[in-house]
Amino acid sequence: MTTRVVFNQKGGVGKTTIVCNLAAIAASQGLRTLVIDLDTQGNATQYLTGSSPTKPDRTIGDFFDSTLSFSLNPQPFVTYSSNTPFDNLDVVAADPRLDELAVKLEAKQKIYKFRDALRKLRGYDAVFIDTPPALNFYSRSALIAADSVLIPFDCDEFARQALYTLLDNIAEIRADHNDNLEIGGIVVNQFQSRSKLPTRLVEELRAEGRPLFEQALSSSVKVKESHENYTPLIYLDRSHRVTQEYLALYNSLDSEA
């Protein structure tokens, strides 16, 4: 089982869209796939389950709440997952209680509980973790638990400066908590190839030796249509250009930078 977290401290860079579409591709290729939604906004949960989903029996908040009480026989992490309408694709749903739980979790030093639970997880081939746009308890927990991190980058100067800080933060977490964590690569998202600024920024980052994936993801209204229909691109329109870009990105994951 491979566990990937998609993370950037900057909001609006497409973390949820990348998580859900890569996970959907994995599921469409027959891999048992799990998406874990650590963002209180719950966009990944909604994207994969629809506008009026059946309330899940358990959520990620229930998992973290359970870690606050000692138990000799904790419930397996798989019991917190729910089905989606898509074959081979499950989700551990978001929970608005995460913010209030974070204070208690940090006070009781529960930062490794998520990692420990995922190490015992069975029945899945691939796990993708969506994170909040902040370096907080939950994003740190995800980075500690993951095999690799994918970093969305949306091609402006502010995003570039934030990227340098993010890379330093990841290096620190790797040194202190998870020496197996790899930077899978930087995903250039919402790319406009005809604009000079995005092209220049990408070229400069490559010249600096930053681990950018070769495949960029274009800006397209088809992505918004995908959100509106609560249907990942691979199921909405397989032949579309952006879907093909996602497929190329997914195919490059096995040879991550």
The residues, ordered by sequence, that sit 6+ positions from 34 with a Cβ below 8 Å of its Cβ are 23, 81, 89, 90, 91, 92, 121, 124, 126, 127, 128
Task: Name the nearest CA neighbour of 44 among 148, 132, 162.
Answer: 132
Q: What is the CATH number of domain 2-255?
A: 3.40.50.300
The Cα 214–Cα 206 span in angstroms is 10
Tell me the pLDDT tens digit for each residue of 43-79.
999 999 986 556 788 999 999 999 998 887 889 999 9
The Cα 202–Cα 43 span in angstroms is 28
Contacts 24+ apart (CB under 8 A), 49-57: 49/82, 49/84, 49/85, 49/91, 49/93, 49/230, 50/85, 50/230, 51/230, 56/82, 56/93, 57/82
The Cα 39–Cα 20 span in angstroms is 13
**Domain boundaries defined on the chain:** 2-255
List, run by run, the mean pLDDT of 10-residue segments along the chain (257 residues): 93 92 97 97 94 78 94 90 96 96 95 96 97 96 97 85 92 95 93 78 90 92 95 97 97 73
The Cα 193–Cα 135 span in angstroms is 30
The Cα 25–Cα 234 span in angstroms is 6
Predicted local distance difference test score (pLDDT) of residue 12: 82
187, 17 Cβ separation under 8 angstroms: no
**pLDDT, mean over the chain:** 92
